[in-house]
Every structure is written in C-alpha cells, then in structure tokens.
Amino acid sequence: MSDINKWDTGKTKPRSGRPRKVSARDMRQLVRYLQKNRTTRGITLPKLKQLFDLQVHENTLRSALADAGYLHKIAKRRPYLMNLDRKWRLKFAKEYKDDDWSKVIFTDEMPVKLFIERRIRDYVWRKAGEELHPDCITYQRRLQGIGMIFWGAFRKGKIGPGIFFDLKKGETVNSVTYRDQVLLGPLRQFWEESFEDISMPIIMEDNAPIHKKVCVPVRKEFGMTSLDWPPNSPDLNLIEHVWSYIKDIIGRDYSDVTSVKEMKRIVLMI
C-alpha cells in the first residue's frame, strides 16, 4: 500500500540492476582485439583476462563474449591457398556445379605412420557465419617424407581397391611406382569394372607429380578420362573424409602399434 500511496501504482518500477562486471567499454576493446588477425582469434580466455586486466571469472567473460555474438568454435581445416589457387578453385566450382558426380572415381594417397596421435583441434572466437573467414581457418600443408603410403579409390555406391605401395627402405613413391603398382593394376581394373553401370567413368587424381610424367601416355593409351583438378585442393576430394575417419580410429585405438606389418593389417581391416 505504501508504494501505491507514494507512486500511485502497484507495479514495480524498472531498476538498473547489478552493474555488469564486463563494461561496454571493455567489450568494445575485446571485440576490436579479436577481429585483428588470425592469432587474436585463437587467444585463450586466461590470456585475454590477463591482457585486459579483467578481474572476472572465465565463465563471466565467456558469457559476455557470447552476448556479443562471439563463440569459441573449432576452426575449419583448409589447405594453404595462394590467390591463384583461389581463382582456380572458384572456376572449378562454377564449371562442375551441376555435373554428374556419380560417374567420378575418386582416388588418393594417404600417408600412414606409427605412433600417430589424434589431431589437436584449434579453436577460434567467431560469430555465426564466420566459419570460412580467413582468420578463422586453420591452414595446413601436406606432410612430406612419410614411409607407408596407402592408395585407395571409390565411386558412388562402390568401394574400390586399397593397397599399400611396396617400397624398399629409403624409397619414395614416384610416377614410375604409381604407374606400375596402381595405374596398371588396381586402378585400371576398377575403371574397367565401372563400365558395367557407367557409360564413361571419370578418374579423379590430384596434381601430385606421381600422377604425371610416365603416367600420361598410359592413360592416353587406355582412353582414360581424367578430371581437371584445381591445384592444392585435397579438401575437395570426397575420399579425404575416408582418410580422416581412418586416421581418427588409428589415433584413438591403435596409437601404440609398433609393427609396420600390423599397422598395414589394421588399415586394410578398417
């Protein structure tokens, strides 16, 4: 009754509430800092607190950033691309946007090593819709000098062959090795079998040097049609999802395997 007599209303008037521990000024500085570059996007909460001398709990800071639209998300993995690579990829996407991918035989090589560890995922602060922002991507380059190399192929509705290259100690895969152990063997056989339900199967091979040189006249002799693949674009190859799946299983369940023979058996079993 005292409120009614004093304010002529029984409704509670809006109150200012408890002051925010992260002020609006702090938030403006934080957002400007996060947007600077790729390094600042990946900063951790403890370092962010220390840098701006914020006397708040990490959960409080995380909530404040979330209110501003910035969430801690896993960074997308993409190969490192130069400007020319980006142009080729865009041209490729436009050219084959409406193509029939069921006739494509996807092939690739996968390096396998012992004591493989599960990938460490990089996290970045980003808003919704920024997952492909250049500062929110983890760029990766292909590994070199790996001993065991596995080759595989598949197409829509059909799992193809998979083999390990037969390499002597210190030997690496080159175009002659690829021609003799893959192109003239399992790939040719899988390609010929595909004619049973595909009028003209197309072979997808990336631009690695091992697919060129002595392999070019062999494909021409057989009449094989190859897909013109953009440079440095392994992420566009659907078989990369298979490789990622296999490596996750190896890192999770078989990281203690010390035998090359046993590791080969495990990969073929998967």
Q: What is the pLDDT of residues 56-75, one digit of tens each?
A: 999 999 999 999 999 999 88
* Residue 241 lies in domain: 79-120+142-269
Residues 204 and 168 in one domain: yes
* Top-confidence residue, 193 or 256: 193
pLDDT given at position 52: 93
**Cα Rg, the chain, nearest whole Å:** 27
Asked whether the whole model's pTM tops 0.75, one would answer no
The span from the CA of 241 to the CA of 16, in Å, is 52
Total domains, the chain? 2
Query: Does a structural domain hold residue 136?
Result: no
Specify whether the CB–CB gap between 75 and 122 falls below 8 A.
Answer: yes
pLDDT of residue 140: 65
8 Å CB contact between 105 and 219: no
Mean pLDDT for the stretch of residues 22-27: 91
Residue 100 lies in a domain: yes
Q: Specify the higher pLDDT residue, 105 or 146.
A: 105
Residue 237 clears pLDDT 50, i.e. is over it: yes
Q: Give the domain CATH number at 236.
A: 3.30.420.10
Is 234 in the same domain as 110?
A: yes
Show the tokens assigned to 136. 């929110």
| Assigned domain for 74 exists | no
pLDDT tier at 184 (50, 70, 90 boundaries)?
Answer: very high
Q: In the predicted model, what is the mean pLDDT of the chain?
A: 87
Residue 32: predicted pLDDT: 95
**What are the distances in angstroms from CA 106 to CA 86, 161, 190, 201?**
22, 11, 11, 10
> Closest by alpha carbon to 113, among 239, 252, 250?
250
pLDDT band at 232 (very low <50, low <70, confident <90, very high): confident
